[in-house]
Chain A
Amino acid sequence: MRPSARRWLPLAVLLAVGLVGCAPEGGGGVQSTKMGTITSRGKLICGVDGSLPGFSFVGSDGTYSGLDVDVCKAMAAALFGDPGKVEYRNLNSSERFAALASGEVDLLSRNTTMTLSRDAAGGNALSFAPPTFYDGQGVMVPTASGITTLKALAGKPICVESGTTTELNLADRMREQNIPYTPLKFQTGDQTYAAYLQGRCVAVTSDRSQLAGKRSSFPQPDAHTLLPDVMSKEPLAPATVNADPVWADAVRWTVNTLFQAEELGITKANIAAKVAEAKANPNQADLRRFLGVEGEFGKQLGLPADFVPKIIAAVGNYGEIFDRNVGPGSRLKLDRGVNRQWKEGGLIYSPPFR
C-alpha cells in the first residue's frame, strides 16, 4: 500500500493546488468563475433553438434574429458593449439542460418554460431570469365566424394535436367552464392546421406564439383571429446554472434593464439624449443611477458601470424587442396581451434599480 500511496501523493498535491487556484479569491469586487471564463474568451456562448419563428432563426444574410436572440445580444452588450460578441449554439429541447449544466453554453435563451422542477436544486438546478415572454395556450378562429369568446365555441368542433398537453389543457378548461365541444384530434401539427384551413373545425388550439407563427404562413393571415383567452401558463425565461449566483444576477438584471427602460420611455433612439440629459442634470437621481452616471450598480453586478446604456443602444427596450420580433412590427403580429407593462395591466415588471 505504501509505495502506491507515495506514487499518488504528487497527484493529490497537484489536485489540491488546482482546487485552491479555482476557489474564488476573497475581497475586492464581485467574482464569478463563469463571468471570468466569458470575459477571457471574449464572447458569450448562448444556447438558442435556432428554428423558432420570431424567437430565434437565421436570416437570409446569415445573422441570427428573434426575441430569444435579442436577450443574448443584450447580455453581450452588457458584458462587452458589443452585441455581436455572441456565439450561438442551436440546442434541441432534450439536450438544452445538459448543454447548460456541462458549461457548453453560458446562457440558455431558448423558449424554456420556468417550472418548479427545473428551478429546484434537486431538479434541473437552473436559475431563471424574469420571463421574457409569457406564452400560453390560445385559440384561433376565422375572423368571419364572429366568435370572440370560449363560450361561443359550445358544441363546435375544435382541431387539436393528439397526445399533447395542449389536448389535456383544452379538455380541462372546457370542463371547468362547462362548455361542451367536439375535439378533432390529429397526429401532427401539419394535419391539424390543414384540417382547420379546410373548415373541418371552427377553431384550432396551441401555444399562442405557435398559432401566430402558423397564421402568418396561411394564405390570408388577416382572416384569422386569436381569442383573448389563455388556457395555460408558459412563462418563457432565460436560464443559467444554479451554481453561479453572480452570473445569474447579471443575467437577471440585464433582463430587468430591458423592462425598466421601457417603463421609463428610454428607447434605442433616445438613449444618447437621455444619457446626456442625466449627465447634465444632477437632480435626476433615479435616471442617473439607472444609466450608470452615478452609483455602483455595474460594479455590484460585476458589469461595466455603463451597462444599461450599452444594452439599450444595442437592442432597445423590451417593447421594441417585442414589436420587432413577434409584435406588430413582425409577421407574427401578436398583441402584447399579458406581456404589457404592469402599469398597463400586464406582467412585465422590473424591481426598482436602487
Chain B
Amino acid sequence: MTPLLRRLRQDLFATPADGLVTVLLLALIGAGGFAVLHWALGQAQWAVIRANSTLFAVGRYPLDQQWRLWLLTALLAAATGLSWGMLRSHPRPDRGGSLWPRNDWMAVGMVALLSLALPSLLGLALPLQLRWWAIAALLLLLRWLAGRFGPLLPAPLKRCLPLGLPLLYLLGMVLIGGGLALEPVSPSQWGGLMLTLLESSFAILLCFPLGVLLALGRRSDLPLLRWGSVVYIEFFRGAPLITLLFLGQNMLGFLLPGGVAPERVWRAAWVLTLFAAAYLAEAVRSGLAAVPRGQLEAARSLGLSTPQAFTTVVLPQALRVALPSMVGQFISLLQDTTLLSLIGLMELLGTARTVMANPAFLGRNAEVYFTLAVLFWCCCAALGLGSRALERRLNPSTLA
C-alpha cells in the first residue's frame, strides 16, 4: 500500500498548486457524478425503457417470429465464446501463453453480472430472463471448452473455423429476413438496436473491400481507373451523407419503375456503404503511401506477379498502418446510422423518437436519450477495444 500512496502523492499532490487542482477536479467530478446518480436513481422514471425494451431491441419485429432472433443471439454468443477460447488457447508472443489472463476473468464477471442484472432491471418476464442466462452460460461454457480442448483439434479443422464467421453472418441475414423455408419478415418491421447493428455491420463489411479497391485504383497507372476512383471518392466526400440518404430514398422512385427499387432499408445500407468506402479509401491510401516503394520492387524482383506482390507484401503492411484511422471510420459510421432516423427508418434513434411520442411516455426524453447514449457508447467502445486487440496482435511493438 505504501508505494501506492507514495505514487499517488507524487502524481497528484506534488506541490500545493497541484494539490489544489486535484481537490478541485475531484470536487467537480464528485458533484457531477452525484447529480447524475441523484437523477438516475431518484428523479428519472425508467418505466419508459422497461415498457419499450423489446421495441428498442428489435423494433416492430413480429412477436411470433422473435424466436429466430433469440436463435441468432445464441449463435452469436456461441461463436464469441468459441473464438475467444480458441484465441486464448494459442500461445502468443506478446502474452505469456496464459489461458486465463486477468482481463478475461474481468470479462467473465461482466458477462455474468450483465446477464443477471440487466434482464431483471428491465423487468423482463422470467422465461425471457432464463433465456438470457442460458445464452450467457453458453458463451462462457464454450469459452472454457474451446480454451481447454481447442488445441487438441486437428489442424485442418482449426484452419476452417474462421470460415464459419461469414457463414454465420449470412445465416443471420436469413434468420432476420426470412427465406429458406422461413416466413419472410419485411425490412419495414426491423428496428431498434438490431437495425442499427445490421446497417452498420453491413456497411462496415462491404465498404472495406470497396475502399481498398478504390485506394488501389487511385494509385493505379491506368488513367481511366485512376480518374474513375478520384471522381468517385471526391463525389462521395463532397456530398453530405444526409443528402445522399435523401437522394437514395426519394430519387430512386422517380428513376426506376415502381416496385423495382430495393427496400429502403437496403437502399440506406448501400448509401452508407458507398459513402464510407470513399473515406476508407483515403485511409487505405495513406497506409499505401507509408509502404516504401522498395517493398513492391523487391517483391516483383523475387518473381511475384503484381497482384501477388500487392496482396502478400504491400497491402498487409499498408492496412496495418491504416488500421487506427480505419477503425475511426467504422466508429463514425456506426454513429452515422442515427441519420437514418431522419429518413424514417426505425433504428435506435428513430425508435426513440416514436417512443417519446407515445402519449403514455410524453416528457421522458432524458431517460430515453441517456439509454441511447449508453448503448452507443457500449457499441463504439467494443469496436475500439476490438481494434486495439487486433493492433496489438498485428504489431505488438508499435502500441503504447
Contact = CB atoms under 8 A, between A and B. Distances in A.
Given A88-B188, A92-B342, A51 B359 contact: no
Interface residues of A, number: 36
B362 A331 contact: yes
Interface of B: 51-52, 54-55, 59-61, 63, 186, 188, 246, 249-254, 258-259, 264, 342-346, 350-351, 353-360, 362-363
B157 to A, nearest CB: 42
Given A87-B188, A95-B250, A62 B357 contact: no
Contacts of B250: 95, 98-99, 102, 104
A63 B357 CA distance: 13
Interface stretch (A52-60, A141-149, A164-172): A52-60
Contacts of B63: 62
27 contacts: A50-B346, A51-B357, A53-B359, A57-B355, A58-B351, A60-B54, A60-B55, A60-B360, A62-B54, A62-B55, A62-B61, A87-B186, A89-B264, A89-B344, A90-B345, A92-B343, A92-B344, A95-B250, A95-B343, A98-B250, A99-B250, A102-B254, A104-B249, A214-B362, A217-B363, A331-B360, A331-B362
Query: What does DSSP make chain B's interface, helix, strand, loop or mixed?
Result: helix
A98 B252 CA distance: 11
Contact of B258 (A37, A51, A89): A37
Contacts of B55: 58, 60, 62
B347 to A, nearest CB: 11
A104 B344 CA distance: 12
Contacts of B51: 60
A62 B59 CA distance: 7
Contacts of B353: 50-51
Nearest to B50: A60
A329 to B, nearest CB: 11
Interface string A115-143: 00000000000000000000000000000
B358 A103 contact: no
A90 B346 contact: yes
B344 A62 contact: no
A54 B344 contact: no
A236 to B, nearest CB: 16
A8 to B, nearest CB: 20
Nearest to B356: A51
B362 A53 contact: yes
A300 interface: no
